[in-house]
Structure 1
Amino acid sequence: MELGLRGKAALITGGSKGIGFETAVQLTQEGAQVAICGRNEEALKAAAARILERTGAEVFYLAADVTKEEDCRRFVEAAAERFGRLDIVVNNAGTSAAKPFEQVDAAAWQQDLDLKLFGAIHISKHAIAHLRRAGGGAIVNVTASMAKTPLASSLPTTVSRAAGMALTKAMSKDLGPDNIRVNTVCIGLIRSDQIEKGWQASAPEKSWEEYARDPKHGVPLGRIGDTEEAAKVITFLVSDAASYVSGTSVNIDGGKAGAL
């Protein structure tokens, strides 16, 4: 299948590791020009070197904190200047923060919303004019399947991610006339630094394969997913192959979510 990504320009927040990094790899392999940002410049530099080694292509990187609107603007404008256009935005920056309601103070609520919700808002706001000039484009907001059916002690992440889902739907309605598609991927158990820490803390005697396939995770497909699997879905959604897909959510969770 031809994805139609060659020559397109993409920016990815939180691109130095995890799903953001693998999405950068996938898009680069498909011929897109890619810019990544994150807070740690050394981590970005190392990620760019790994992408070059794997794909033979250079990515543009810039240290930026997406909780700050000026950093979002600076990243978007630098990427647009570097590539001469923007076609794709992947709002991936985020961490998992899960506590009972009464243990989440005002600062934690603000920090989570600034990172996961307002980061996507500010990046998208500054990118839209460039997408319009390119004749349209695609935005993917990375959220969480748990946002659809929040569990106890899952705050503030599930609330921030649920807001991201609502943002996705509203944006898709507003931007559709400009041929800008907006979708969200709802992430479940995907291998990450946090999950690996849980593995080392709870079952260091097990191999990763054994831990990932432990029935206690409750994943119908029987295992924790890989970042590459999530990245491939994102790559499809921003490609021409998904040209009539907008305003929807895709669970990437091995079937674990209790909602479609």
Structure 2
Amino acid sequence: MAVDFSNIFSIAGKTALVTGGSRGIGEMIAAGFLAAGAKVYISSRKADVCDATAARLSSEYGGECISLPADLSGVAGAEALAAEIASRESKLDILVNNAGASWGAPIDEFPEAGWDKVMDTNVKGVFFLTQKLLPLLRAAGTADDPARVINIGSIDGL
């Protein structure tokens, strides 16, 4: 029996949100999703960079990549991003929580403000964005094809 490899990684017809999608790993994930046929939203704190990356990815991969700048370090930012997605989509198939923050100080010099910044984005933001997007994720999922939440982490933030 021959296997059809031309379609094995297709996610055509799926909608994805990649936080931290304007550079690095997030940008690469967004590019891969576009290449596999998904409609992709990317978010990052810096609107100009997010907008430019979305335009470039759309051009390079021929898909639809939409910029939704957002600061996910607090509940308000998570709520705003979830509301914006909900105003545009009736479902969300894939959420990639990739946005992250680091402080860059040795542990013996790490200040409370740095700790709070890292925890707010890397833990609190991930939890509350996922929570606020649950209705759209549930709308996309079925028993045979559930919605996916992918959390990306790094020791750089610690």
Interval of TM-score (by shorter of Structure 1 and Structure 2): 0.7 to 0.9
Deviates more, 1:91-100 or 1:21-30: 91-100
| C-alpha separation in 2, matches of 1:80 and 1:23 | 22
Moved over 6 A (4+): none
Which residue of the partner structure matches residue 77 of structure 1? 83
Q: Secondary structure at 2:51's aligned position in 1?
A: helix
Which residue of the partner structure matches residue 31 of structure 2? 25
Paired residue total: 148
1:65 aligns with 2:75: no
Equivalent residue for 2:123, pick from 97, 112, 117: 117
| C-alpha separation in 1, matches of 2:130 and 2:84 | 14
Instruction: After TM superposition, give the deviation of residue 98 of structure 1 in Å.
Output: 4.0
Identity in percent: 32
Which residue of the partner structure matches residue 45 of structure 1? 51
Q: Which of the two has higher C-alpha Rg?
A: 1
Computed over aligned residues only, the root mean square deviation of the Cα atoms, in angstroms, reads: 1.7
Deviations, residues 172-214 of structure 1 (Å, cap 9, x unaligned): xxxxxxxxxxxxxxxxxxxxxxxxxxxxxxxxxxxxxxxxxxx
Residue ranges of structure 2 left out of the alignment (5+ in a row): none
Do the aligned partners of 2:38 and 2:63 also contact (CA within 8 Å) in 1? Answer: no
TM-score (norm 1): 0.53
Deviations, residues 56-107 of structure 1 (Å, cap 9, x unaligned): 1221211210002122122123223323210111011113434332211111
Residue ranges of structure 1 left out of the alignment (5+ in a row): 147-153, 159-260
Do the aligned partners of 2:44 and 2:50 also contact (CA within 8 Å) in 1? Answer: yes
Q: Quick one: which amino acid aligns to residue 44 of structure 1?
A: C
Instruction: After TM superposition, give the deviation of residue 109 of structure 1 in Å.
Output: 0.6
Which residue of the partner structure matches residue 41 of structure 2? 35
| C-alpha separation in 2, matches of 1:97 and 1:111 | 8
| C-alpha separation in 2, matches of 1:64 and 1:109 | 21
Which residue of the partner structure matches residue 13 of structure 2? 7
